[in-house]
Amino acid sequence: MRNFYLAACTAVLFTFTSCGSDSESGGGITPEPPSEVVVKPNFTPIQVTRHEGKPFSTGVTSRDGKNIVGPGGPVMMQAFYWDVPQGGTWWNVLSEKIPSWAGSGITSMWLPPVTKGQSGGYSMGYDPYDYFDFGQYTQQGTTETRFGNESELVNLISTAHSKSMLVFADMVLNHNSGGASEYDPNIQDYYWTDFTGVKSGKFPRTYLDFYTNQGTDRDEGYFGEGRGMPDLRHTREHVQNWLWKSPESVAKYYKNTLKFDGWRFDYVKGFGTWVIREWNKSVGGFSVGENWDGNPSELENWANSAESAVFDFSLYYKMDQAFDEQNLMKLTEDVYWKRNPYKAVTFVTNHDTDDIWNKHYAYAYILTHEGYPTIFYRDYEEWLDKNKLNTLIKIHNERATGNTTILYADKDEYIARRNGYNGNPGLVVYLNTSEQTQEKWVETNWASAAIKDHTSHAAAWNPTTRADKWVKIKCPPKSYTVWSTP
């Protein structure tokens, strides 16, 4: 797909050359210009998107009416991981994190499914049983959910809103679990589809509300072969009313009573895109779907049809190849955000998959490039250098503006420029996976301007751009730098 972008390229062909020692530039000394034209084979600088360059927007302001989107757009925290501690403490743990997260520039948080699952206090929420039990009913062997109770959940959301952070609910609309066995006369067999005993008394379900075989009337997808986790039949009016249509529906209760600001939809391959469209038309809010597919065309088609953002799995797999297999040319290839950055939610890892090992490059990439970057809880709180992540978040919020031009790429090096927007200067990001310090001449956004590396990885290198905006920048071995005006 790289040829598509080369054909669409509108940028002038830029030139590059490696330069000499550190003594040629630094301390504010203007570097010498390139002495010759050197163009890497099979690479042409790419203007990867044709759009205005405005920041990603969730379409939602904070509850106090403030605009939470800075120049670079929002940053999301995935506020859980698989098998977080049991015992009903997680909502309180997150409440305590919110002030520091908000202070670091994180503007939204994605919570795990908040309702009672089949496995009660052990459940991570992806086996939904009672959509209206948030830890207040004793059923499935517990009262609280794994994460806490309803009052603690409401307090968490309220605390987030007090810091102008949005909160997104993880919605599992495909499959249910924990129902009693009942006889289905249509197939003359017993299935686990009797949910009339849910203690909330809301959204009772029977075999009529599920697909219990692979018949021709199925909506989309199939999960668990109908046993244990039957799929909801979204074409049923009863199901639609309880999920989003009626005033007492799941969607309206989450939005109007619990005060959620948006939605992460689980396993969207299991049902039609029209379900997401209708849900969003009914209650609004930001939405993003988990369409687990590395094909950017599939992601594009789904996002357009669902009228929703989508996680950019195509970028996830390209970053794995680029950083773990050490081939940064993969970053020049087609991914979904290059097609529509306004519907692309980018990420490095999540609760389901953790394939990228060289994560510091990946976070440097998603926090300087277009899309809606997502930080994984354990990466931020446990596994990586929080100070470096906070620096990247600050760079994103203040400098990651405008559309993107990929300036240079080879196996070990990758340089891209954010072209700035609405008076914001933009930036140049340099990734270097080699064992040596690398230097390159690049064309920037700035004429006759002192610039610096905002990561401080190349703190001793303080060049000034020429009048034609060219400058020599550098990157230490196995590191990254981000250049902009002071």
What span, in angstroms and rounded, lies between the C-alpha atoms of 209 and 191? 12
User: Helix, strand, coil shares of the chain as percentages rounded to 5?
Assistant: 30, 20, 50
**Which of the 8 DSSP states describes residue 460?**
T
What span, in angstroms and rounded, lies between the C-alpha atoms of 350 and 269? 18
Query: What number of residues does the chain have?
Result: 486
Contact in structure between 288 and 302 (CB atoms under 8 Å)? no
Both ends of the chain: CA-CA distance in Å? 37
234 to each of 118, 120, 134, 279, how far by Cα in Å?
21, 25, 23, 11
State both tokens at 70: 């800075």
| Torsion, CA 419, CA 423, CA 424, CA 425, rounded to 10 | 60
Contact in structure between 482 and 399 (CB atoms under 8 Å)? yes
Per the DSSP assignment, residues forming a β-bridge with 167 are: 109
Annotated catalytic residues are 266, 290
- Spell 137-157 as b/e; 16+ CB within 10 A means b: bebbebbbbbbbbbebbeebb
The contacts of residue 269 (CB under 8 Å, 6+ apart) are 220, 221, 291, 292, 293
- Helical H runs in 149-218? 150-162
Please name which of 326, 325, 319 lies closest in space to residue 435, comparing C-alpha atoms.
326
Residue 174 annotated as binding? yes
Contact in structure between 405 and 11 (CB atoms under 8 Å)? yes
The annotation places the binding site for Ca(2+) at 174
